[in-house]
Structures are given as C-alpha cells and as structure tokens.
Amino acid sequence: MSLKTQIQPHNRLVRGISAGSVTPRQWLDSLKSLMADPEYESRYDEIWDFREGSQIYCTYEECEQFLGAEATLRPDPDERHVAIVVGNEAAYCMARMFQDLAETRGRGGIQVFRNLDIAEDWIYSSQTAFPAC
C-alpha cells in the first residue's frame, strides 16, 4: 500500500493519493504523519483519492475505531470537508458505509464521489460558502 499526502496551503487543502489496498490503520497512520507536518492545519479540507488500483478494507468495528481515533486526534471535524474518491463499486459501497457511520457519530462533511472533478468542485464550493477567518 502506498498512501501519499500533499499539503496545499494556498488552497487550504490536503490531497491523499493511494495505490493498493488501504486499511483504517494505514489511513490513520497517514493522518498522524500528516498532522506532524508544520504546514498542516486541521481546518484544511481533504480529498482522498482511492481510484487507482485501490481497495478499501474496513469492518464495521475498524471504521468505529478509526472514527474514534480521528476524533481524538482532530477534535474539530466540522471545520473541514472530506471528499473520498473511489474507482469501483466495492470501494464506493465501503466508503458510503464509512460516511453513514461517521454521520451517525455526528461527523458530517464527508462525501463520496466517483469523479475527482466533481469532488474538487464540491470542496472548492464549500470553501467559498465558508471562507477561512
């Protein structure tokens, strides 16, 4: 698995690109590394691109653990939007399950897309609607 992140301060954006299978543990480890970067700000929106040869493996329990750990690491989830972009039906279903579970835990602002351009439009329109202070 390869999960690379790029911080774009000028866009208030983090881009994550994956190749291969991704587990919640790997995603969480990536977030921890990201948060250690001095350019990172927790208010930055995020686009996670899982289209290229990626599979997302996540049991219900693993998704619960990931969301709990993320809430501990980043207690301000409503200040950012997260776009998850997938390339196949199985990954779409898994990502939607993750989105639904997050919403039941009070974590809004996550959307799942099959198209990167549409995901970017959603992210940039949310930034226009809620400009940074």
Domains of the chain, by residue range, sit at 2-129
Q: Is a pLDDT exceeding 80 seen at residue 132?
A: no
Q: What share of the chain is helix, strand, coil (3-state, %, to 5)?
A: 45, 25, 30
- In this predicted model, which residue has the larger pLDDT, 111 or 64? 111
HSE at residue 97, side-chain half, CA atoms within 13 A, is 15
pLDDT for 40-51, tens place per residue? 888 899 999 988
Task: Note the Cα 66 to chain centre separation in Å.
Answer: 12
pLDDT for 51-104, tens place per residue? 886 667 778 888 888 888 877 777 666 678 999 999 989 889 888 988 998 888
Count how many residues are written for the chain. Answer: 133
Q: Which residue reads 């992140």 in tokens?
A: 5
**Nearest 10 degrees: Cα torsion 50, 66, 29, 130:** 70
The CATH code of domain 2-129 reads: 3.30.750.24
Beta carbons of 45 and 74 less than 8 angstroms apart: no
Task: Tell me the pTM.
Answer: 0.85
Reported confidence tier of residue 129, pLDDT bands at 50, 70, 90: low
- Of 66-70, 84-88, 107-111, 127-131, the poorest mean pLDDT is in 127-131
Helices (H), the chain: 24-36, 60-73, 89-104, 116-129
Q: Give dist(CA 99, CA 83) in Å, integer.
A: 10
